[in-house]
């Protein structure tokens, strides 16, 4: 079921702790097989649909929090404000 604008995110269920950790639910041979076949089921979206950015520990992002870095990435490219999977950035120094 698609999440509606403003609907909260269940961090334990919806957000992997690290996209590069072995526990990442979006990793592994099963997921890769389906990703390779996605063009059989979906049309290519017009523009970027994914963005990564760092949040302070314990902060739960809203949909609006995600839209800002996505728009920044689309308009200005990869930076510490937001980046894509191809070029991960290290977390900021504390």
Q: What is the pLDDT of residues 13-62, one digit of tens each?
A: 555 455 555 555 555 566 777 778 888 888 888 888 899 999 888 999 99
Distances (CA, A) of 92 to 8, 33, 80: 26, 33, 9
In a domain, 71, yes or no: yes
Q: Is 87 within the bounds of a domain?
A: no
Give the bridge partners for 79, in sequence order.
82
83: β partners: 52
Q: Domain for residue 10, yes or no?
A: no
Of residues 15 and 89, the one with the higher pLDDT is 89
| Domain count for the chain | 1
Rounded to whole angstroms, how far apart are CA atoms 3 and 75? 25
Distance CA(77)–CA(71), nearest Å, equals 9
Confidence check: pLDDT of 12 > 70: no
Predicted local distance difference test score (pLDDT) of residue 19: 52
Residue 43's domain comprises: 17-76
User: CB of 36 within 8 A of CB of 48?
Assistant: no
Say if 70 falls within a structural domain: yes
């Amino acid at each position: 079921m698609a999440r509606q604008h403003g609907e909260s995110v269940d961090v334990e269920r919806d957000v992997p702790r690290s996209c590069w950790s072995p526990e990442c639910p979006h990793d592994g041979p099963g997921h890769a097989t389906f990703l390779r076949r996605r063009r059989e089921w979906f049309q290519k979206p017009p523009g970027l649909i994914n963005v990564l950015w760092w949040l302070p520990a314990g902060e739960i992002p809203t949909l609006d929090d995600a839209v800002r870095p996505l728009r920044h990435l689309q308009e200005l490219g990869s930076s510490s404000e937001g980046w894509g999977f191809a070029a991960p950035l290290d977390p900021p120094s504390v």
